[in-house]
Amino acid sequence: LVHITDIHHRGDRTYLQKVVARINSLRPDSVCITGDLIGDMVDKQEHLDEVLSILSGIRSPVYGVPGNHDYWSKLSFDPIAECLAATGGAWLMDSTALTKDGFLHIIGLSGRTTSAPVPPRMKGKINVLLMHYPAWVKRLPDRYDLVLAGHSHGGQIRLPLYGAPVLPFSVDEYDLGLFHTPAGPLYVNPGLGWFPVAARFNCRPEITLFEM
Ligand SMILES: [Fe+2]
């Protein structure tokens, strides 16, 4: 399973095409995206169209949930849902999908409101939960085999011996990497893009590969 997040696409086609080529070279059974496909000061339909056209080159089923910037863009999610469905995956808005091999049960949170009920796990399957906000791990009602989140960007700037001086809301202590939580192992991916500043230090963009 490959996990990517927070692409924040602004038109850098070459970078995203390289990401897709790298993902394809890993030959994953599934690809999971935990939000913020786009996200700039001025959000454009063309950026969403472009990110979807490049992501459609992924030769594995792609599953995804939205992030705050996808909502803030006010663009329709319909093209995203169509694009992911065409890969054999699904856009999960407080809903679930079973992979074709019947191996993984993927639960996706819309992130729209903290009061939305979390869809139940499926017994006998590996349950993977996708959400945008790392801190939401505290409100999960059950234990999952793997919980994936983004949003933090790892802080983008990480000082040695200190960590990230600046983190967004709804991250709390889950800024980057693997955390053992009552809801199961939570992995917080540093993301592929940036917001609000085009800078990273000691916090490289990441394509994460999980062997289940
Ligand atoms: Fe975000």
Q: How do the pLDDT tens digits run along the chain, 212 residues long?
A: 999 999 999 999 999 999 999 999 999 999 999 999 998 877 789 999 999 999 999 999 999 999 999 999 999 999 999 999 999 999 999 999 999 999 999 999 999 999 999 999 999 999 999 999 999 999 999 999 999 999 999 999 999 999 999 999 999 999 999 999 999 999 999 999 999 999 999 999 999 999 99
In this structure, the number of other CB atoms found within 10 A of the CB of residue 171 comes to 20
Q: Residue 59 CA to chain centroid, in angstroms?
A: 18
- DSSP class of residue 27 equals -
Q: What is the pLDDT of residue 41?
A: 75
What sections of the chain are H helices per DSSP? 13-26, 45-55, 68-72, 78-86
Distance 144 CA to ligand 1 centre (A): 22
Q: Residues lining ligand 1 (ion), CB within 5 A?
A: 36, 67-68, 151
Q: What is the pLDDT of residue 134?
A: 98
Distance 101 CA to ligand 1 centre (A): 31
pTM confidence score: 0.97
How far, in Å, are 85, 118, 164, 201, 203 from residue 194 at the CA level? 27, 29, 14, 12, 11
Q: Residue 87 CA to chain centroid, in angstroms?
A: 16
Q: b vs e for 100-125, b when ≥16 Cβ sit within 10 Å of the residue's Cβ?
A: eeeebbbbbbbbeeeeeebeebeeeb
